[in-house]
């Protein structure tokens, strides 16, 4: 089972990002666009595990203070186009708490430096300077343990557990 811990985005933020994606398509930007239901912000990517109950146990008592999250600029990691976010210290604190809980339980995860972003397009071919960044903000009151599976050839994300 493939797992990750994420912030699920508000409908307002998803709508803003989707409008940006439609504008990009009209401008001829090529790539594999993230389906609107799959838009999220990953705090920790666990990947394949045979022990989801261990992950749930590690996260069940995790606490964090609700915080405001706002979309910011656009950027790229290689051929991945993303929307940046600002989340004050609450965002970095939540990511740190998640990672510390996983570390304490001995659960392996991708330990790359936390770079908060929302992936919009993979295999991006275009000029990001021409793209108007989406706008929006939300209060983050919960985190989610998510399962990633392929159904009918498409990646589908399902919440397994709400955190906080």
pTM reported for the whole predicted model:
0.93
**CATH assignment of the domain containing 143:** 3.90.1140.10
How many angstroms separate the CA atoms of 143 and 41, rounded?
Answer: 10
Three-state DSSP state, 114: coil
Q: Kindly write down the DSSP assignment for every residue of 127-163, as one continuous string.
A: -GGGSPPP--EEEE--EEEEEEEEETTEEEEEEEEEE
Q: Angle at the Cα of 13 (from 7 to 17), degrees rounded to 5?
A: 110
7-18 per-position pLDDT tens digit: 999 999 999 999
Residue 124 burial by CB count (10 A; 0-12/13-18/19+): exposed, middle or buried? buried
41-69 in b/e burial notation, b at 16+ Cβ within 10 A?
Answer: bbbbbbeeeeebeebeebbeebebeebeb
| Percent of the chain whose predicted confidence (pLDDT) is above 70 | 99
- Determine phi and psi for 98, rounding to 5 degrees: -60, -50
* Mean predicted confidence (pLDDT) in 147-155: 94
* Mean predicted confidence (pLDDT) in 19-32: 94
The tally of CA atoms less than 13 A away on the side-chain side of residue 146 is 23
- Give the total number of structural domains in the chain: 1
Owning domain of residue 66: 2-163
Which helix (H) or strand (E) is 86 found in, with range?
Answer: strand 80-86
């Amino acid at each position: 089972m493939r797992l990750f811990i994420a912030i699920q985005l508000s409908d307002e933020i998803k709508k803003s990002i989707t409008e940006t994606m439609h504008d990009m398509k009209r401008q001829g930007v090529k790539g594999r666009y993230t389906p609107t239901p799959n838009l999220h912000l990953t705090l920790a990517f666990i990947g394949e595990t045979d022990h989801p109950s261990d992950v749930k146990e590690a996260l069940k008592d995790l606490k964090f203070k609700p915080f405001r999250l706002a979309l910011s600029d656009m950027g790229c990691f290689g051929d991945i186009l993303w929307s940046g976010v600002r989340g004050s210290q609450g965002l970095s604190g939540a990511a740190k708490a998640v990672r510390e809980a996983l570390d304490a339980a001995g659960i392996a995860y991708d330990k790359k430096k936390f770079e908060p972003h929302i992936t919009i397009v993979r295999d991006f071919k275009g000029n990001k300077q021409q793209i108007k960044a989406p706008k929006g903000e939300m209060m983050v009151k919960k985190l989610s343990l998510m399962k990633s599976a392929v159904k009918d050839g498409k990646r589908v994300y399902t919440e397994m557990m709400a955190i906080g």
